[in-house]
Amino acid sequence: MNPRWRIPTHAFQACAFNRSAISPSYLLKKNLSLTILNIEFINEKKMLKIALLDDKKYGLNQIKEIHEGENFKLFYFSTFQEFKKNSNIFDIVYLDYFLEKDGLTGAEVLPFVKSKTKKVIGFSSVLSRSKELKQLGADNAIVKKFF
């Protein structure tokens, strides 16, 4: 299988393009996410390790739909303490802003999370909080949807 270019969207799916130039205006016309404009190169032969750090599980379905068709293993951590104990280095970590079980925010744990992953995606149900995580150093930001 050949590697392809992908643009993940906040609308539960990933749109694949064959190495074509994608402009922000194209994304707007196609009603794709404005919060994720980075094109990432994904080698489909490799199994991605993806983690969700969130005190609530409902974001798991959205992450599964975003990465549908990709080879990945999904890890779920309901607390920052659980995440810290895990020895894996992840390809992608979806980080919620409000970590109520820990009494922490994603902003507070972001530096540590970045040390354990190649890419951090702010993943809050509040768009401004996802964007805040991106401003603080997350690679991207999307809105978590309720199912």
Give the predicted TM-score (pTM) of the model.
0.70
The per-residue pLDDT of the chain, averaged, comes to 79
Is the pLDDT at 38 greater than 90? The verdict is no
Residue ranges of E strands in the chain: 4-8, 14-17, 40-42, 48-53, 72-77, 90-95, 98-99, 104-105, 117-124, 140-143
CATH number for 80: 3.40.50.2300
Any bridge partners for residue 90, and if so which? 117
Over residues 38-64, the mean pLDDT reads: 80
Q: What angle do CA 58, 60, 62 make, to 5 degrees?
A: 90
Q: How far is CA 40 from CA 15, 55, 78, in A?
A: 12, 27, 27
Residue 137: pLDDT band by 50, 70, 90 thresholds? Answer: very high
Is the pLDDT at 75 greater than 90? The verdict is yes
Domain holding 30, by residue range, is 4-143
Number of domains in the chain: 1
Query: What pLDDT score does 46 carry?
Result: 82
